[in-house]
Structure 1
Amino acid sequence: MNTEIITVGAAAARNKKTMDDLTVGLCALTVVGVSATAATPFWPEAWGRAPSIGVVVLAAGLAVFLALHTLYWWRALDEAAREAHKWAWWWGGNLGLVAGGAAVVIAALADVNLLPAALPHTDAALIALGVAAVFAAQAVGYGIAWCGWWIARR
Structure 2
Amino acid sequence: MNTEITAAGAAAARNKKKMDDLTVVLCALTVVGVSATAATPFWPDAWGRAPSIGVVVLAAGLAVFTALHTLYWWRGLDEAAKEAHKWAWWWGGNLGFVVGGAAVVIAALAGVNLLPAAVPHTDAALIALGVAAAFAAQAVGYGVAWCGWWFARR
Given the two structures, how large is their TM-score scaled by the length of structure 2? 0.98
For the aligned residue pairs, the C-alpha RMSD in angstroms reads: 0.8
Q: Which residue of 2 aligns with 1:16?
A: 16
Which ranges in structure 1 are unaligned for 5 or more consecutive residues? none
Q: Which residue of 2 aligns with 1:59?
A: 59
- The amino acid across from 1:57 in the alignment is V
Kindly report which structure 2 residues correspond to 1:5-154, keeping only aligned pairs within 5 A, or say none.
Answer: 5-154=5-154
2: CA distance between counterparts of 1:78 and 1:15? Answer: 15
Question: Identity of aligned pairs, percent?
Answer: 90
Q: Write out the 4+ residue segments of structure 1 that deviate beyond 3 Å after TM superposition.
A: none
Which ranges in structure 2 are unaligned for 5 or more consecutive residues? none
2: CA distance between counterparts of 1:111 and 1:43? Answer: 37
2: CA distance between counterparts of 1:134 and 1:111? Answer: 19
Report if the CA contact (8 A) 2:26-2:62 is conserved: yes
Given the two structures, how large is their TM-score scaled by the length of structure 1? 0.98
**SS of corresponding position for 2:34:** helix
Number of aligned residues: 154
